[in-house]
A and B are shown apart, each in its own frame.
Chain A
Amino acid sequence: MTNLIAYFQARLKTVVVVCLVLLAVIAGSTLLVDTHHAHTWAEQHVPFFWSFFGFAAAAVIIGVARWFGRSGIQAPTDFYTCPTSTPCEEE
């Protein structure tokens, strides 16, 4: 398996192209699938709805998390504690 990953890593551009083609195929397949049982109007009538949703949701989550972290939520590691010299048994 390690060799397989190394093989793919050596051909990263090809892997990226294949993945993009796969994404296009997945998105395209939505046009062939019956959306009759979908729960909402948007799912039934907006083409590639879940593709947009997935991309937008991921982008929004990354943006919100970054803004939240930078707004003071991410603090130095010794924020609560002074460093101690007691070593951890497992470390």
Chain B
Amino acid sequence: MASSFIHPSLLLILGALLLPFIRGPLRKPYLFLVPLLALSAVVLNTSLTGNFATISFLDWQLVLGRVDKLSTIFALIMTLMAVIGTLYGLHVDRAGEHMAAWFYAAGSLGAIYSGDYISLFLFWEMMAFASVFLIWFRRGKQSLQVGYRYLLIHTIGGIILLAGILLRYQALGNITFDLMDVAHPELYTWLIMIGFGLNAAMVPLHSWLPESYSEASFNGAVFLCAFTTKTAVYVLARACAGMDILVVLGVIMALYGVIYAVMENDIRKLLAWSIVSQVGYMVAGIGIGTDMAINGAVAHAVVHILYKSLLFMGTGSVLYMTGKTKFTELGGLYRKMPATFFFTIIGCLSISAAPGFAAYVSKSMIIGAGFENHLNWASWLLMFGATGTFMYNGLKLPYFLFFGPNNCSEATWEKAADPTWNMLIAMTLGATLCVLVGTAPGFLYAMLPYATAYNPYTAYHLVETLQLLGFAALAFFLLKKYVEPIDRICLDIDWLYRQAGRGFLWLVKGPLQWGDTAWGEAYRVVGLSSLMTVSRFWSWFDWHAIDGVVDGIARSVRALGGKVRILQSGQIQLTLYYAFSLAAILLVTFIFFKLL
């Protein structure tokens, strides 16, 4: 029996709208069921290929269900993430937070299945507006401001994207969302790429990410780390594959993220910087554009979602249990949170591309594709960045969080413990998948957009990786006093945004306010005074001229009326006398006039 396309976004949106009405003991099963249904829908859709759910709108054909290998693998990992993320926050009783998360996931899935730019843009914006609530629901000191900044940046990105879409429509006359002519980029190509790139946190449009993801609620961050950047990776792979500039931008992202992560004191901000770095590998892969590079970028996006969500779940557990996120307020937690430690270590090994763990099977595809495409400089720098990834995520994070100096206050230490059962199950799932993908990558490779014969488990690759990790670890332990976290924040390019904001505020409060005051004063002195003089003249004119004429006529009529009144005696013979006398005078006058 041929199955028909079921849009998982529809299930998530309907589920979210009904959620507030599902209360009591039904809430948790319902929370688990809805994303599971969405996952089932995506699994059913995997048997399809082509365009589905097409809608005619004005002169356009909207395609809400484009199913191919690229959209399928992204849709699968996104819905899987929705299941794991919801399970992780199952005990959160704020319906709004789950609704925001599901709308966010629905936006991502909608964008992934979109076959045209109009529906893509609508789902794209749905993601931005839903995800901001995951930041606001933290309800921290900075959450509101950070959320507004996040929204502002994404709105700007949306406008840039929309401008690109409109210019493209004007130039080509269609809204088909497909690979652009990246060899001959037009203005719209750049605008669309920048719009996508902002969501991928391309440097220098990245600073929204570390700020907002570290400020999100403990379970909101698990969703955030998966959807926005990886949806951006998907659309870049779809529309901008082979665009040379992406190789440069990707390498910059990979290295920039590493340096900031090494300096960072906040455990979740470190992971957010790590997203910038890891997405850099994917962006570089898309820029290289060969089959193997695209496969590598897609595979890395999939495994990145798995290990990054696991890491955010681990650090989210620390936040949830202790209320702290800074290395300088934590440390030595393996004794109090052994299960969290175990799962976090699996995430750390996975992101470090340790043999047997997730990123081992994907990162080398991108780097290898660079070498094969004679982009040696890019591959060397990505290898350099990979060493940094292991250092800050594989060594610094677990060492200073679970071992190292114990900076916990008595209250923090008292509160520290492994989290609730649902959070542990979600982490178990994530960790299992990380190991499964790392040890048996065949099923992942089978789902990639292009046929591949890549084997990561060669003796050379194994020895290369072990050397790299082993000797980077040696350097870390010899030099670790230089990476010891300190309680400071790292200034980033957002400093420029903020300065621009302050400049605008100064402009409004200073020169513009002064100009407004000066104009008001000038108006009062010059404009208002002359207006009053003119008004006084017109008042005089009105009183003496217009009113004089009107009143004069009225007075004349009244006087005449007074004179005429005496003629009205009320006696019919007198009235007839006056009438006939007047008629006689008129007749005589007429005759004389005619005779003369």
Contacts and interface: CB of A to CB of B under 8 A. Distances in A.
A38 B460 contact: yes
A71 B486 CA distance: 15
B135 to A, nearest CB: 13
Nearest to A1: B338
Interface string A21-37: 01100110110011101
B319 interface: yes
A33 B463 contact: yes
A62 B142 CA distance: 30
A30 B342 CA distance: 31
A18 interface: no
Interface in A40-91: 40, 43, 48-66, 68-69, 72-77, 79-81, 84, 86-91
A90 B140 contact: yes
A1 B270 CA distance: 26
Contact of B263 (A48, A68, A80): A68
Contacts of B138: 88-90
Contacts of B262: 61-62, 65
Contacts of A64: 259
A40 B377 CA distance: 11
A11 interface: no
Contact of A91 (B324, B468, B472, B489): B324
B491 interface: yes
Contacts of A55: 471-472, 474-475
Interface residues of B, number: 56
A79 B494 CA distance: 13
B414 interface: no
Interface stretch (B176-184, B368-376, B435-443, B535-543): B368-376
B467 A73 contact: no
B476 interface: yes
Contacts of B487: 77
Contact of B387 (A2, A27, A58, A76): A58
A39 interface: yes
Nearest to B218: A90
A53 B483 CA distance: 19
A49 to B, nearest CB: 8
B503 interface: no
A63 B319 CA distance: 30
Given A81-B142, A91-B140, A54 B338 contact: no
Contacts of B426: none
B555 interface: no
B471 A73 contact: no
Contacts of B459: 33-34
Given A51-B471, A58-B387, A39 B372 contact: yes
Nearest to A74: B488
B387 A22 contact: no
B458 interface: yes
A69 B485 CA distance: 11
B102 to A, nearest CB: 21
A58 B371 contact: no
Given A53-B387, A57-B472, A88 B463 contact: no
A74 B258 CA distance: 15
A5 interface: yes
B490 interface: yes
Q: Considering residues B371, B383, B469, B470, which has the most beta carbons from chain A within 10 angstroms of its beta carbon? A: B470
Nearest to B137: A89
A34 B345 CA distance: 31
Contact of B338 (A2, A37, A72, A73): A2
B590 interface: no
A89 B139 contact: yes
Interface string B133-154: 0000011111000000000000
B334 interface: yes
Contacts of A49: 467
A1 B342 CA distance: 9
B472 A88 contact: no
Interface string B240-263: 000000000000000000110011
B312 interface: no
Which residue, of B467, B483, B490, has the highest number of chain A Cβ atoms within 10 A?
B467
Contact of B489 (A5, A34, A74): A74
Greatest chain B CB density within 10 A among A29, A34, A73, A76 is at: A73
B335 interface: yes
Contacts of A68: 259, 263
B498 interface: yes
B74 interface: no
Interface in B403-444: none
B461 to A, nearest CB: 9
Interface of B: 138-142, 217-218, 258-259, 262-263, 319-320, 323-324, 334-335, 338, 341-342, 368, 371-372, 376, 379, 383-384, 387-388, 391, 458-460, 463-464, 466-476, 479, 482-483, 486-491, 498
Q: Which 10 A-B pairs have CB atoms at the shortest separation, nearest pair first?
A: A58-B475, A39-B371, A54-B471, A50-B467, A57-B387, A65-B262, A88-B140, A91-B323, A54-B468, A58-B472
16 contacts: A27-B467, A34-B459, A39-B371, A49-B467, A51-B467, A51-B471, A54-B387, A58-B387, A58-B479, A59-B475, A62-B479, A72-B491, A76-B488, A86-B141, A90-B217, A91-B140
